[in-house]
Amino acid sequence: MSVTVVGSIAYDAVQTPHGGRDRMLGGAAVHFALAASFFDEVRVVGPVGDDFGPDEYAVLHGRGVNTEDIEHVEGGKTFFWSGVYGDNMNSRETLETDLNVFETFDPKLSDGSREADVLFLANILPALQLNVRRQCENARYVALDSMDLWINIARDPLVAAISEVDCVILNDSEVELFTGEREVVAGARKIMEHGPSAMVVKLGKYGAALITADDSFWIPAFPVDFVADPTGAGDTFAGGFVGAIAAHDGEITPDVLRLAMAYGTALASFNVEEFGTERVARLTGEEIVERVEQLREITSFETSAVALR
Amino acid sequence: MSVTVVGSIAYDAVQTPHGGRDRMLGGAAVHFALAASFFDEVRVVGPVGDDFGPDEYAVLHGRGVNTEDIEHVEGGKTFFWSGVYGDNMNSRETLETDLNVFETFDPKLSDGSREADVLFLANILPALQLNVRRQCENARYVALDSMDLWINIARDPLVAAISEVDCVILNDSEVELFTGEREVVAGARKIMEHGPSAMVVKLGKYGAALITADDSFWIPAFPVDFVADPTGAGDTFAGGFVGAIAAHDGEITPDVLRLAMAYGTALASFNVEEFGTERVARLTGEEIVERVEQLREITSFETSAVALR
């Protein structure tokens, strides 16, 4: 049993109010894989160029990630993104996006990746997401991430992809852009009309919501002392969330999804404490379990009788 | 035993994406009082002009609010505010603020109001907040709200007032403005160094956080189907929060404060469903209790063993 993720492998340059990095390992598939690696074997499908070297592979192998389906494009350069975060850390400006080898990416899955038990379609062209989804016929749970760009310019292919997955993960502004609905639950339900049985709405630094057919669940971001760099938080969340689902053998009940939300939240909170993959790369299972327990503690309250007038 | 609130009584004009009102009952003290009225006797201290009539008193009396300390200023006009909400409802622009009788407001407390068991200092000039706080010598719990204006132009009097209360209620941008701290917990702790044992940080449509000496608690906004008008949500939250504390006879433990956060959240969620005071004015205790229980349901998760790698 394993988790397959298809998406970007990148070098990122970021500036935040707390400093920056000129060139660090990043990309949706990388952040997802490192987080999900705590729960199951993870296979990464994505392209890299000649500049992608042993140091980067070492980070992935350090967490036991299977890199056989990382496609080395001869003469190519790895996807590069650079951005700068505003003072409040919830908004960022992209300075540069060099797609490089990602521009002509056509996912090629080995038999091992196609046999995935659980599949995560990170944010790539919706037509490619659908293509990959159909290759993984036996996946018992499939989640999909997307972005405003595809909602704006590739809405029909995106709807087609969404209609064949179990769970869609978007942030609240993307849900509103997609559906025109201002309220999270109403927007999520509109997207779920296309097929998915669940939707995760990311609320940036405020947390995330899980919407299912007749239920919703809300969890705050874990309040870390210091946010160094939010880059990859969403994909790290997805890795914890999807990973926890993959680690569960039985039926995917709302309780399983809720606990998965807590794992995603915990993983994301570690990710933002340092730049890029630095913190998650040296994370331990004990730290994750402790943070999930802390999340339960800081969100619990007991209802007791109050005499109302 | 009773709750005293000092603050504005107003007419509001609002426009939201869902419509508007030209002139509706509002003001911090009014929203607070209606919410807190479910928990205890509430006395409102604040000024009104000749234009404040029987219809407005009827709304307050309909919830059993004591209006003896509402000061009628002969020849004066009631405080008037008008604003328009942006598309995302989390930002608003003030079009007009006519302080009118509020400009020269000097709170005069009757013996009954001075004997308050619990006191809420709504957002007014910090020097007046301190003055009122010192008149209520026997109050066992005092909470204070403020705003960016006073943080900018009356910081020292605000610190003086804060140093004599138990709980400060601000929104996250105000905490950052006050302390320079980007993270909610760090900012709240800095404010608590002035004396308060607790701080509530409102996160707008995302919920609220409670920070105590060695603990934090996070609760999402209740996901209503439809937000008609957020005006007064913060003060309605405060009314539910402070009211629930007032309804508790024993020691104010973190558990009591957490449950109070849930009541505040529930009350605020009703407030935004319709314009001004319309929804809370006809609310029932049963509806509140049901929503608090729903809040517990949509935030609970059980941690169970997941084998991590």
Please give the ipTM for the structure prediction: 0.94
Q: Do A36 and A264 touch, CB atoms closer than 8 A?
A: no
Quote the pLDDT of residue A307.
82
User: What value does the mean pLDDT take over residues A114-130?
Assistant: 97
Does residue B216 belong to the interface with chain A, where contact is any CB pair within 8 Å? yes
Q: In terms of CA atoms, which chain A residue is nearest residue B292?
A: A303
Whether residues B186 and A309 touch (CB distance < 8 A) is answered with no
Give me the residues of A, 33-72, that contact B with CB < 8 A. Answer: 37-40, 64
Q: How far is B186 from chain A (nearest CA, A)?
A: 7
| pLDDT tens digits for range B120-172 | 999 999 999 999 999 999 999 999 999 999 999 999 999 999 999 999 999 99
- Residues of chain B found within 8 Å of residue A172, distances taken between Cβ atoms: none
What whole-number distance in Å separates Cα of residue B174 and Cα of residue B158?
13
Does residue B250 belong to the interface with chain A, where contact is any CB pair within 8 Å? no
What whole-number distance in Å separates Cα of residue A1 and Cα of residue A113?
10
| pLDDT tens digits for range A258-297 | 999 999 999 999 999 999 999 999 999 999 999 999 999 9
- Residues of chain A found within 8 Å of residue B301, distances taken between Cβ atoms: 217, 219, 255, 258-259, 261-262, 296
Quote the pLDDT of residue B268.
98
Whether residues B288 and A300 touch (CB distance < 8 A) is answered with no
Whether A306 shows a pLDDT value over 90: the answer reads: no
Residue B212 confidence class, pLDDT cut points 50, 70, 90: very high
**Residue A4, H or E segment:** strand A2-6
Q: How many CB atoms lie within 10 A of CB A171?
A: 18
Whether A91 shows a pLDDT value over 90: the answer reads: no
- Residues of chain B found within 8 Å of residue A226, distances taken between Cβ atoms: 183
Whether B37 shows a pLDDT value over 80: the answer reads: yes
Percent of chain A with pLDDT over 70: 100
- Residues of chain B found within 8 Å of residue A304, distances taken between Cβ atoms: 259
User: What value does the mean pLDDT take over residues A29-47?
Assistant: 98
- Residues of chain A found within 8 Å of residue B209, distances taken between Cβ atoms: 220, 223
- Residues of chain A found within 8 Å of residue B88, distances taken between Cβ atoms: 176, 182
Whether B91 shows a pLDDT value over 90: the answer reads: no
Q: Which residue has the tokens 């004997």?
A: B115
pTM over 0.90: yes
Whether A78 shows a pLDDT value over 80: the answer reads: yes
Does residue B223 belong to the interface with chain A, where contact is any CB pair within 8 Å? yes
User: What value does the mean pLDDT take over residues B247-262?
Assistant: 96
- Residues of chain B found within 8 Å of residue A248, distances taken between Cβ atoms: 306
Q: Across the strands, what pairs with A168?
A: A144, A199
What whole-number distance in Å separates Cα of residue A239 and Cα of residue A129?
17
User: What value does the mean pLDDT take over residues B290-300?
Assistant: 97
Among the partner residues A203, A259, A308, nearest to B302 by beta-carbon distance: A259
Quote the pLDDT of residue B89.
77
Quote the pLDDT of residue B306.
82
Residue A89 confidence class, pLDDT cut points 50, 70, 90: confident
Whether A14 shows a pLDDT value over 90: the answer reads: yes
Whether A51 shows a pLDDT value over 80: the answer reads: yes
Residue B304 confidence class, pLDDT cut points 50, 70, 90: confident
Q: Which residue has the higher pLDDT, B87 or B207?
A: B207
Q: How far is B155 from chain A (nearest CA, A)?
A: 22
Q: Mutate which of A85, A229, A309 to test chain B, going by most B C-beta atoms within 10 A?
A: A309
Quote the pLDDT of residue A109.
96
Whether residues A255 and B39 touch (CB distance < 8 A) is answered with no
Among the partner residues B183, B219, B244, nearest to A223 by beta-carbon distance: B183
- Residues in Cβ contact with A290 at an 8 Å cutoff, skipping those fewer than 6 apart: none
Residue B47 confidence class, pLDDT cut points 50, 70, 90: very high
Whether B39 shows a pLDDT value over 80: the answer reads: yes
Residue A87 confidence class, pLDDT cut points 50, 70, 90: confident
Residue B87 confidence class, pLDDT cut points 50, 70, 90: confident
The burial of A271, by beta-carbon neighbours within 10 Å (0-12 exposed, 13-18 middle, 19 or more buried), is given as buried
Quote the pLDDT of residue B307.
82
Where helices occur in chain A by DSSP H, the ranges are 28-36, 54-62, 111-114, 126-135, 148-153, 155-162, 172-179, 184-192, 233-246, 254-271, 278-281, 285-297
